[in-house]
Structure 1
Amino acid sequence: MTTYIPLPAATPPTGTTEPGPDTPPAAVPQGPSTGTPGAQPQPSSGTPQSPSGPASRLEVSGALLALLRDTATAPRQDPQLEALTLAVAADLPVLLWGEPGIGKTAALTQLATTLDLPLTTVIASVHEPSDFSGLPVIGDDPATDGVPMAPPDWAVRLVRAGRGLLFLDELSTAPPAVQAALLRLVLERRVGALRLPPGVRIVAAANPRSSAADGWELSPPLANRFVHLQWAHDPDVVVRGLGGVWPRAVLPTLDADRLPEAVAFARRAVCGLLGARPALVHQLPSTEARRGGAWPSPRSWDMALCLTAFATAAGVSRDVLSMLVRGTVGDGPGLEFLSYLDRMDLPDPEDLLADPENAELPGRGDLRQAALDAVVAAVRARPERERWDAAWALLARAASTGAPDLLVVPAQTLASLRRDDWEVPESIEGLAGAVSVSRRADRAKARAFTMTGASR
């Protein structure tokens, strides 16, 4: 016969509360089980004692889960994480695009922890438009006082904290009405009659429409308010993270002495490109899918200018700057802007012509070609014998320090500028062989390509 310990009088009836660590089980058998309902068998002699009761077993499960979640972080070169932290430092809304399950939410959680910012997550797709535009609250005399729009509780918490990271998740599953309500929140940081404090940063995440649950394309006005970053998983980062060490998000270190220089450089770059290419100021894409991404507008160029200044002051890599610029104005205009930045770093052709023997030419082939073309263009604009001779001396120096194939076009153009009374400089003799070899190599390559095509 099995004997049971009676339930204490203060314990509520079974089924009204979940057993906790201090709550004894309803009945503990004191002998072998006879099949009576509620009875539990005792372990046999010599067997290690297991935790008694569901609550104790859950404690052990919790301990195991705690060990699994106990991970560390370490510095690691990660361009997409650098781009995210730089955009957050610049106080620009960021939208992470990526397939489900690649760690967008985990990256933002870790970012908030590293920056010591309270994380507030709002699932955009499960909210009504009034949750972002404010709920009307009728007072005693609405005809006199009006009807204020009350903000939701998460916005009030952010205002009380004075800072935080607002995470708008599942943005691509939010219907158009909710996206319209988000416009003022993302750009003006207003929720109803409440304005979020400057210490709040906004980051959103979205899945492509093809992999989103009942997904929508982003509306052009909402898409144009974000810095779009394509979030992809790195197998090495995943393997290392599953082993217990994830990359650490670190805010960029801005050089205080370079701030004025960085702003001047960014303004000169953006204004110089748009002055030469006014068609890039505003280009609304023709397709719905591309309108939901990054595209150029005065607003997005302003963000690109801000990010260029931050990237210059922080000294980030070219890959990080490329992600940020293309994430604001799109791939085509972004790559054109990056190419313009390269040309801004080219030496002044007049400086090269003034001292060709000691001129420092760019090491990269495309930049060297552009510098030589600029020198020839300067001679064409003001053709003088001394400048023509200096250009040939510069080409000779380029031939001795780089690939000769870059000299073919500049040499032909410069030769066409010769006047009848100008003597041929001696430096041309050294160039003739290099140019001739390069041209013969080009002709041989063309013949080989023609023969290969004919054999097919």
Structure 2
Amino acid sequence: MSVHGFEAADQLTARVMATRTETGASTQLEALALAVSANLPVLLWGEPGIGKSAGMRQLATGLGVQLETVIASVHEPSDFAGLPVVGADPANSGVAMAPPDWAVRLARSGNGLVFFDELSSAPPAVQAALLRVVLERQVGSLRLPEPVRVVAAANPPSSAADGWHLSPPLANRFVHLDWTYDASVVARGMAGTWPALTIPVVDTGKISTAVAKARGAVAGFLTARPGLVHHLPADAEARGRAWPSPRTWEMALRLLAAGYACDAGREPLATALVGAVGDGAGVEFLSYLEELDLPDPNHVLADPERFALPDRGDRQLAFLTAVVAAVQARPTRERWEAGWVVLAKAVEAGVPDVAARAATDLAVMREPEWPVPSGIEAFLDLLELSGALR
């Protein structure tokens, strides 16, 4: 084929690839964006060729950051642990572990997305090396900047060449999202129009309330359902997906806070939460959230006399935890004293035991010059015993 023929073929290809966009919605992409905003590693599960890489490109474009794609299945453990570079005096300076080029580019840019594709096709030794990248953000001697987000993709073992189940320690560090396709969207895309999706953005003005409400919700739920704090599945396939542990509940806390702070839709937030703690625990937690309906703790602190304490014990604990977390986020004498007014209502309602833990947390925030408020009398014995009241 002549050069001119290649040029004509390239023009044809460019014309085929030129598309337009229209406003659309995707639960899975919004859930991915929510987890990325919370700076949690994400693992996309889906059959080959259904658009996981395309979704990553769209997310990187929407966030305005660079994307580095690494095919995990074709790499050796040393590609993630680093290759030794012997210096002039290794006895004194040690042996540096040289990072790969993709890690250097991300470190230089200061932010970005790294996408580890075909993770389930990587042998256990490679998965073990990747564990340090996910857990410590360390690649050889190089530490990835905090604004660099980690996303991986895996094919189910049934459809992956030489597929492996993920080890439980690695699986338990990801938010697991099932990646599917919509046939009508694909058909419209082939006609030249693809959806342009909105990326959730955290509202800085809502951060304090979002964190307080999320802390209250997760603490209240785990108090009511202590058996779901940690549950390692029995079979290997389930251990390679999402399951509840203290680590994944912390992930759920971050997801919930991010969801509240960016007004995430119910479906994307639910998808992300289930992807963190698994189907069973996730569905129970979502049902709990539906019934919880926590008021804004900052509004309560602004006028503590007007609120009504919830009836159920787990909801009371969730509410009081949220109030204390809100005070901790912005501790002033007025807000601290308002917190004691709230806790005093729990005593008046005949449930001082529910407020005991919140009282201890609130007491340790007291500055030496702040006088002891009247609402603290009911907790004096407990606080003196714990040493929380100085």
Relative to the length of structure 2, the TM-score reads 0.74
Select the residue among 16, 32, 43 that pairs with 1:68.
Answer: 16
- 1:162-209 Cα offsets, whole Å, 9 max, x none, are 222111000010000000000110122110110111221111111000
- Cα 1:316–1:350, aligned 2, differ >3 Å: closer, same or farther? closer
Structure 1 residues 141 and 261, CA gap change in structure 2 (3 angstroms): same
1:80 and 2:28 correspond: yes
Q: Aligned pair 1:156/2:104, yes or no?
A: yes
- Quick check: 1:96 aligned with 2:50? no
Counterpart amino acid of residue 340 in structure 1: Y
Please give the secondary structure, in 2, of the residue aligned with 1:148. strand
CA distance in 2, matches of 1:275, 1:99: 38
**Percent of counterpart pairs with the same letter?**
61
1:194 aligned residue (130, 142, 151): 142
Q: Secondary structure of the residue that 1:117 maps to in structure 2?
A: coil
Gaps of 5+ in 1: 1-52, 353-380, 383-456
**Do residues 130 (structure 1) and 78 (structure 2) align?**
yes
Structure 2 gap ranges (5+): 296-306, 312-348, 351-390
Report how far residue 136 of structure 1 moved.
1.2
Q: Is 1:218 matched up with 2:128? A: no
Distance 1:63 1:296, change over 3 A: same
SS at match of 2:148: strand
CA shift digits 1:38-79 (9 cap, x unpaired): xxxxxxxxxxxxxxx611011110000001111223221211
- 1:350-429 → structure 2 map (5 Å cutoff): none
Matching residue's letter, 1:68: V
2:4 aligned with 1:56? yes
Kept after mapping to 2: 8 A contact 1:114/1:248: no
Does residue 208 of the first structure (1) align with residue 175 of the second (2)?
Answer: no
The AA in structure 2 aligned to 1:244 is G
CA RMSD of aligned residues (A): 2.0
Rg larger in structure: 1
* 1:377-431 Cα deviation digits (max 9, x unpaired): xxxx99xxxxxxxxxxxxxxxxxxxxxxxxxxxxxxxxxxxxxxxxxxxxxxxxx
Q: Which of 333, 339, 343 is 2:287 aligned to? A: 339
Which protein has greater RCO, CA pairs closer than 8 Å, 6+ apart?
Answer: 2
Q: Equivalents in 1 of 2:56, 2:309: separation in Å?
A: 50
Counterpart contact for 1:85–1:250, Cα < 8 Å:
no
Residue type of the partner of 2:270? S
Deviation of the 1:295 alpha carbon: 0.5
| Kept after mapping to 1: 8 A contact 2:213/2:294 | no
Q: Mean alpha-carbon deviation: is it higher for 233-242 or for 109-118? A: 109-118
TM-score normalised by length of structure 1? 0.63
User: What one-letter code is carried by the residue in structure 2 that aligns with 1:123?
Assistant: I
148-157 vs 320-329, greater mean Cα deviation: 148-157
2:205 counterpart residue number: 257
1:171 to 119, 122, 128: 119
Task: Give the corresponding residue for 1:183.
Answer: 131
**CA drift at 1:349:** 9.1
1:276 aligns with 2:224: yes
Deviation at 1:346, TM superposition (A): 8.2
SS of residue in 2 equivalent to 1:228: strand
SS at match of 1:62: helix
The aligned amino acid for 2:81 is S
CA deviation after TM superposition for structure 1 residue 259, in Å: 1.6
State the partner residue of 1:436. Answer: none
SS of residue matched to 1:323? helix
